[in-house]
Chain A
Amino acid sequence: MKKTFKKEKLLKWSRINRQVLIGAVLFLAFIFPLFNLLGWMGMVWVRLGVKVAVFVLLALGLNIIIGETGLLNLGYIAFFAIGAYTTAIFASPRLGFHLPFWLLFLLSGFFAVAFGFLLGLPTLRLRGDYLAIVTLAFGEIVRITLNNWESVTNGPGGIPGIYDPVIFGLRIDNNFEYYYLTLGLIILCLILIRNLKNSRFGRAWNALREDEIAAECAGIHVSMAKLLSFMVSSLFAGFAGCIFASLQKFVNPQYFVFMQSVLVVCMVVLGGMGSIPGVIAGAIALDTLPEIIRHTFAFWLPSFLGEDFLTSFPPLLQNFLFDFDRYRMLIFGLAIVLMMIFRPEGLIPSRAWQRELHEIDPRLLEETQMIRFDLEEEEKDLEV
């Protein structure tokens, strides 16, 4: 009796703590750009914040397909590219279009989803590793097409001069406004994801991830569920692409290379597949890490410890700390391997994945018990 009471109390506390934590993170996210107005940090950080927000959106979308459905999409950046190029083509002097932003936004999402549908329809019946390769090939084809379709995309030169978005008469043209726009979109998407996760479809995705055959036997329409997850994740990428293009005012195919897809995969995997806080933390960490390391060792620490603090380091380490961007992918690649070996559920794991990855196979357990039983019986026989 006492025990259950304690447990309930603990559960209640954890729930309250969770809400407090979410509230605190949201509050921090909202007031983050205000630090700039107070003069505590430079405009670079606000700019970085917008970029991080776009990548959080991307990582959340990819999480639906990797974390929830258990399929690997290595061409995710292609959908981002489709969203970005849709915006660039329909809101720039390139072809003379200028559609209103809300239409553009929907159109970017629509095109990404349409391509996701077209790609997913024939390929989702493939095995997991083949699907990864097909999506990789799709990503490369999209990039090559953008690179060579000169009449529309201007080839490697890219499309410059994308117009500022205008929402309800408000012209969005500085980093603060972009930040809040993206933040609002992230919150909307989070609500959407939470509802989807607890819906029939979310449960179907999780069932597919755990065991496809069992899920099919339980009456889940496998290809439909997979297709839906593919399309929802493409939708997020399309939205993110739209915002990214408006933010940068310029898109070119060089940005949508395979390594970017891998980077987003890294965010999801290192943060924790299937866990929303994990994925958000992963996206924030991976995007800001180079900048934070550089600033820490180039400005903040020297200001406390004196100017010659860094020069006492060996040159290789100095180079590493100053130029972390170059070593970034090296470290992330290594981190993925180590993570898969030692902590496959990610830094902030979701409960389901943790259970799945650290569970002892019940059949195996049963077998060992049976063997032990047999041995005992045999011993008894021998004694008799």
Chain B
Amino acid sequence: MGFETFVGLTLSGLTVGMIYALVALGYTMVYGVLKLINFAHGEIFTVGGYLGATFLIWIGIEDGIPLPLKILYVILAFLFSMILTATLGWSVERFAYRPLRKMTRIAPLLSAIGVSIFLQNLILLVFGVDPIIMPVAAIPEGYIPVFGANFRYLAVIIIVFSLILMGGLTLFIKKTRLGKAMRATSQDREAAEMMGINTNMTISLTFIIGSALAAIAGILVAMYYGTLKFDTGFLYGIKAFTAAVLGGIGNIPGAVIGALVLGLAENYGVGLKLGILAYFFILGLIVGLAYQFYFLPREARKKALFNLADRFSYDEGSLSKVKILNYCYYGGWISGFYFLFKERRDSLVRIHARQAIRVGFANTFLFLVTLIFFLNSNYKISSEWQNGITFLVLMLVLIFKPAGILGEHIPEKV
């Protein structure tokens, strides 16, 4: 276990994280505009990868041909796949989601699942059970040594390319008229319509951009791993969704941060020994504590640190009291129960007390896990659990902080 392993894990975590981010952007944008989890997004990603690989196989990319031509072919493959996949995304929205927009919430969700199953089985029928293999000539070879670890050129390209795309997307949403229309639609569709925005077109545009990004991610995954299977998209879809939720769904920078955290967590989780993982947990606790302290008023910090929330008098306002209660990062559980039993009438206090109990429960859980990890510090988590880590992260985030790290950017109607 040397330093170079750690660097290698970090690099691969960042690369995978960037790919998750590309897929997660599609989820988060659609959720922002339609408040719908687009289950079919993972399958759209797979279709993108398959189309790109098929194009490269069809055009006959080989080792013999000169480099500029190769690059041209790869770019053509990207364009081909993006255009077709964007059309697919548009038609999914047009035919499967648009007629259901006025329905109860469960109907579009079920329709999305239906589209997902349909597309997955369509890929299975058209391309077969065997994974499609990316032509080796299309994959950039070679690597840069970084602190003894090998940083593949492809990984560099993935990271740079994704950063450019994300920057472009952010600029598009912040600066252009269409981006403004998109933001307006996500805030309040009816009001946006009254302001003269063509919301149907805006929603279609969201799906088109999201699908094109998913297609890019699909081809990049096919290049990075060399193969793609018909059900890869399901897993990537869930992981990207986890990333979107982790960062706060509807929030574009959040999706990128969530994806990077998830990518790193997956790689560290199965690559490092438990003893080292435990330090990560401790680091997380410290960062969380500092973060929560940062928002406390100065005079309250001491009381919060020594878990003295119940010493606050009522004239300071029960709300501020329970806020401090929430910030009692370690003692939340005890004082939460204290308030839950003591103050029956003030329901606001009770709500915050429940939150405090949840925080306390999470901390206790984290503490126990850290302890177990320290006791078995020489073991590693089996790599079969890599996907399990994602699902665990997803469940924990949704249970303890459904709004995500950066918070949701879904303005509710007043």
From the candidates A123, A134, A334, A336, name the one contacting B113 in the complex (CB within 8 A): A336
Contact B117–A333 (Cβ < 8 Å)? yes
CB of A344 within 8 Å of the partner chain? yes
Contact A147–B384 (Cβ < 8 Å)? yes
Chain B residues positioned under 8 Å from A141 (CB to CB): 388, 391-392, 395
Chain B residues positioned under 8 Å from A326 (CB to CB): 125
Chain B residues positioned under 8 Å from A317 (CB to CB): none
Distance (whole angstroms) from the CB of A65 to the closest CB of chain B: 11
Scoring B121, B234, B392 by chain A CB atoms within 10 A of each residue's CB, the highest score goes to: B121
Contact A333–B384 (Cβ < 8 Å)? no
From the candidates A123, A136, A330, A341, name the one contacting B238 in the complex (CB within 8 A): A136
Segment with Cβ contacts to A, from B100-108, B195-203, B278-286 = B100-108
- Rounded to whole angstroms, the CA-CA distance of A133 and B31 in the bound complex is 14
Chain A residues positioned under 8 Å from B105 (CB to CB): 128-129
From the candidates A74, A258, A333, name the one contacting B114 in the complex (CB within 8 A): A333
Chain A residues positioned under 8 Å from B113 (CB to CB): 74, 262, 265, 333, 336
Chain B residues positioned under 8 Å from A147 (CB to CB): 384
CB of B37 within 8 Å of the partner chain? yes
Chain B residues positioned under 8 Å from A122 (CB to CB): 358, 399
Contact B387–A140 (Cβ < 8 Å)? yes
- Category for how many chain A residues contact B: 35 or more
Chain A residues positioned under 8 Å from B382 (CB to CB): 148
- Rounded to whole angstroms, the CA-CA distance of A148 and B391 in the bound complex is 15
CB of A11 within 8 Å of the partner chain? no
CB of B326 within 8 Å of the partner chain? no
Contact B387–A132 (Cβ < 8 Å)? no
> Looking across the interface, which residue of chain B has its beta carbon closest to that of A122?
B399
A329/B117 contact (C-beta < 8 A), A132-B37, A133-B241 known: yes
> Looking across the interface, which residue of chain A has its beta carbon closest to that of B99?
A341
Contact B110–A72 (Cβ < 8 Å)? yes
Distance (whole angstroms) from the CB of A125 to the closest CB of chain B: 9
Chain B residues positioned under 8 Å from A259 (CB to CB): 117
Chain B residues positioned under 8 Å from A74 (CB to CB): 113
Interface readout for B360-376 with A: 1 if CB under 8 Å, 0 if not? Answer: 00000000000000000
> Looking across the interface, which residue of chain B has its beta carbon closest to that of A340?
B111
- Rounded to whole angstroms, the CA-CA distance of A344 and B117 in the bound complex is 18
From the candidates B36, B118, B398, name the one contacting A334 in the complex (CB within 8 A): B118
CB of B178 within 8 Å of the partner chain? no
- Rounded to whole angstroms, the CA-CA distance of A123 and B400 in the bound complex is 9
Contact B117–A357 (Cβ < 8 Å)? no
* Complex interface residues of chain A between 120 and 172 (CB less than 8 A to chain B): 122-123, 126-130, 132-134, 136-138, 140-141, 144-145, 147-148
CB of A332 within 8 Å of the partner chain? yes
Contact B125–A337 (Cβ < 8 Å)? no
- Rounded to whole angstroms, the CA-CA distance of A269 and B108 in the bound complex is 13
> Looking across the interface, which residue of chain A has its beta carbon closest to that of B108?
A340
CB of A272 within 8 Å of the partner chain? no
Contact A132–B385 (Cβ < 8 Å)? no
Distance (whole angstroms) from the CB of B155 to the closest CB of chain A: 27
Contact B394–A335 (Cβ < 8 Å)? no
> Looking across the interface, which residue of chain B has its beta carbon closest to that of A66?
B106
CB of A177 within 8 Å of the partner chain? no
- Rounded to whole angstroms, the CA-CA distance of A193 and B153 in the bound complex is 61
Interface readout for B189-225 with A: 1 if CB under 8 Å, 0 if not? Answer: 0000000000000000000000000000000000000
Chain A residues positioned under 8 Å from B95 (CB to CB): 337
Contact B104–A337 (Cβ < 8 Å)? no
- Rounded to whole angstroms, the CA-CA distance of A262 and B104 in the bound complex is 20
Contact A335–B402 (Cβ < 8 Å)? no
CB of A356 within 8 Å of the partner chain? yes
* Complex interface residues of chain A between 310 and 358 (CB less than 8 A to chain B): 326-327, 329-330, 332-337, 340-341, 344, 356-357
A148/B387 contact (C-beta < 8 A), A130-B402, A336-B117, A337-B114 known: no
Contact B37–A344 (Cβ < 8 Å)? no
Interface readout for B78-103 with A: 1 if CB under 8 Å, 0 if not? Answer: 00000000000000000110011001
Interface readout for A180-215 with B: 1 if CB under 8 Å, 0 if not? Answer: 000000000000000000000000000000000000
Contact B111–A330 (Cβ < 8 Å)? no
CB of A282 within 8 Å of the partner chain? no
Distance (whole angstroms) from the CB of B306 to the closest CB of chain A: 29
Chain A residues positioned under 8 Å from B108 (CB to CB): 340
CB of A70 within 8 Å of the partner chain? yes
Contact A138–B117 (Cβ < 8 Å)? no
CB of B185 within 8 Å of the partner chain? no
Contact A333–B115 (Cβ < 8 Å)? yes
Contact A337–B96 (Cβ < 8 Å)? yes
Contact B104–A137 (Cβ < 8 Å)? no
Contact A258–B106 (Cβ < 8 Å)? no
Contact B388–A72 (Cβ < 8 Å)? no
A336/B402 contact (C-beta < 8 A), A133-B241, A330-B121 known: no
A137/B391 contact (C-beta < 8 A), A129-B37, A336-B113, A340-B107 known: yes
Distance (whole angstroms) from the CB of A155 to the closest CB of chain B: 9
Contact A344–B107 (Cβ < 8 Å)? yes
Distance (whole angstroms) from the CB of B292 to the closest CB of chain A: 21
CB of B132 within 8 Å of the partner chain? no
* Complex interface residues of chain B between 226 and 241 (CB less than 8 A to chain A): 234, 238, 241
- Rounded to whole angstroms, the CA-CA distance of A141 and B122 in the bound complex is 27
Q: List 5 A-B contacts (CB under 8 A).
A: A262-B113, A327-B121, A330-B125, A337-B118, A356-B104
Additional 6 contacts, C-beta under 8 A, given A70-B104, A148-B388: A123-B399, A137-B394, A327-B125, A329-B120, A333-B113, A333-B114
Top-10 shortest CB links A-B = A336-B114, A333-B118, A333-B117, A330-B121, A137-B391, A337-B114, A340-B111, A122-B399, A144-B388, A137-B394
